[in-house]
């Protein structure tokens, strides 16, 4: 890690009373510079509990917004405001309002990978960790599930419930193909396969475990298995390998790179702290509504 750069970051972090959070898909050097690494919701919870005034959120835009929804009194900075999530941006608040008008009795469940104004239209938010649990507890006849059609398919199969899904998907996870998994199993016959539920159904079918990034970290630690094929964004391999030096982790596909997650560099983290940019603040009216959907998720789980 560039020592000079790190020294400056540490110094500014103290001056600004800041904490650095990095998603599991961030570049290795950004993960190593962070105070905490985790999945999207874990990081928002860390942000809410932190006694620091400034949060540098190294991830994508909706994650920084979620932190702002959960801790409005803090200053949330994103080192690169162009780091968006293409899947989150595949649906708008207008789209959700239209869906609700077409299915007035439906309960609307939305993945945390959504913009704040879309969250404000939801009945309940979910993450890849708790989506199955939440949908299984909903009593309504009709359930709308947005925006990921593959997560919807997985949840529908696990719960036996028909879901009204949106045509969204993650452009990074769809790059992982069933033939990639088959090839890696041939190369590493003792390895267990863990995949993210954003993967294609044909990939999910080949997995031993279907887990969020946070749960993959937990599972890798407690499992007696020593080798794993990882079907998610390649950045997670750094975290897994660091936490489990005695185990081996193979990416299902080297092509599963999220370009938006890789926009954040150490230099941008330094600029962000130096110039206190770019602040992400969700307007109060939207924040209060979006917060209801997140609180409902906590209530359900």
Q: Which member of 212, 253, 260, 272 binds ligand 13P (CB under 6 A)?
A: 212
24 or 253: CB nearest ligand 13P: 24
C-beta neighbour count of 235 within 10 angstroms: 24
88 touches 115 (CB < 8 A):
yes
Q: Which member of 80, 198, 220, 251 binds ligand 13P (CB under 6 A)?
A: 198
Tokens representing 18?
Answer: 């800041």
Encoded one letter per residue, x for contact with ligand 13P by CB under 6 A and - for no contact, window 115-134 reads ------------xx------
Residue 32, phi then psi, degrees to nearest 5: -70, -30
Distance CA 33, CA 115 (A): 27
Distance CA 189, CA 209 (A): 16
Please tell me the count of residues contacting ligand 13P according to CB under 6 A: 11
C-beta neighbour count of 97 within 10 angstroms: 12
- Per-residue H/E/C for 263-297: HCCHHHHHHHHHHCCCECCCCHHHHHHHHHHHHHH
Stretch that binds ligand 13P, among 68-76, 141-149, 176-184, 206-214 (CB under 6 A): 206-214
Is 86 a residue that touches ligand SF4 (CB under 6 A)? yes
Tokens representing 2?
Answer: 């560039």
76 or 170: CB nearest ligand 13P: 170
Is 213 a residue that touches ligand 13P (CB under 6 A)? yes
Residues in 169-188 that interact with ligand 13P by CB under 6 A: 170
Distance CA 68, CA 81 (A): 14
9 or 198: CB nearest ligand SF4: 198
Q: Which member of 20, 76, 165, 170 binds ligand SF4 (CB under 6 A)?
A: 170
Gyration radius of the chain's alpha carbons = 19
Distance CA 181, CA 48 (A): 38
Is 50 a residue that touches ligand 13P (CB under 6 A)? no
Residues in 14-43 that interact with ligand SF4 by CB under 6 A: none
Is 66 a residue that touches ligand 13P (CB under 6 A)? no
Please tell me the count of residues contacting ligand SF4 according to CB under 6 A: 14
**Residue linked to tokens 């033939």:** 179
Cα 263 to chain centroid, rounded: 16
Residues in 97-116 that interact with ligand 13P by CB under 6 A: 113
Q: Which member of 9, 21, 85, 134 binds ligand SF4 (CB under 6 A)?
A: 85
Q: Which member of 64, 106, 135, 261 binds ligand SF4 (CB under 6 A)?
A: 261
Binding site for ligand SF4 (CB under 6 A): 60, 85-87, 113, 170-173, 198, 233, 258, 260-261
């Amino acid at each position: 890690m560039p020592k000079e750069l790190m020294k400056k970051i540490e110094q500014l972090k103290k001056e600004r009373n800041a904490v650095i959070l990095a998603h599991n898909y961030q570049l290795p050097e950004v993960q190593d510079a962070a105070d905490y690494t985790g999945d999207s919701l874990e990081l928002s919870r860390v942000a809410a509990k932190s006694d620091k005034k400034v949060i540098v959120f190294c991830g994508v835009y909706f994650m920084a917004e979620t932190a702002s929804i959960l801790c409005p009194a803090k200053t949330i900075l994103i080192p690169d405001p162009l780091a968006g999530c293409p899947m989150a941006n595949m649906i708008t608040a207008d789209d959700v309002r239209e869906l609700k008008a077409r299915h007035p009795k439906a309960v609307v469940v939305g993945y945390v990978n959504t913009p704040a104004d879309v969250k404000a239209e939801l009945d309940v938010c979910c993450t890849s960790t708790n989506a199955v649990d939440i949908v299984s507890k909903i009593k309504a006849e009709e359930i709308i599930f947005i925006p990921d059609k593959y997560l919807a398919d997985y949840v529908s199969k696990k719960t036996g419930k028909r879901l009204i899904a949106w045509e969204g998907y993650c452009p990074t996870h769809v790059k992982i193909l069933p033939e990639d998994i088959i090839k890696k199993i041939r190369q590493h016959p003792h390895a267990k396969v863990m995949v993210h539920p954003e993967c294609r159904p044909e990939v999910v079918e080949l997995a031993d475990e279907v887990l969020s990034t946070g749960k993959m970290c937990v599972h890798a630690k407690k499992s007696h298995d020593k080798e794993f094929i990882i079907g998610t964004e390649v950045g997670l391999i750094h975290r897994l390998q660091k936490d489990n030096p005695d185990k081996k982790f193979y990416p299902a596909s080297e092509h599963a790179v999220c370009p938006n997650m890789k926009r954040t560099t150490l230099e941008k983290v330094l600029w962000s702290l130096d110039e206190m940019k770019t602040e992400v603040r969700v307007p109060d009216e939207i924040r209060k509504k979006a917060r209801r959907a997140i609180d409902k998720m906590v209530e359900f789980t």
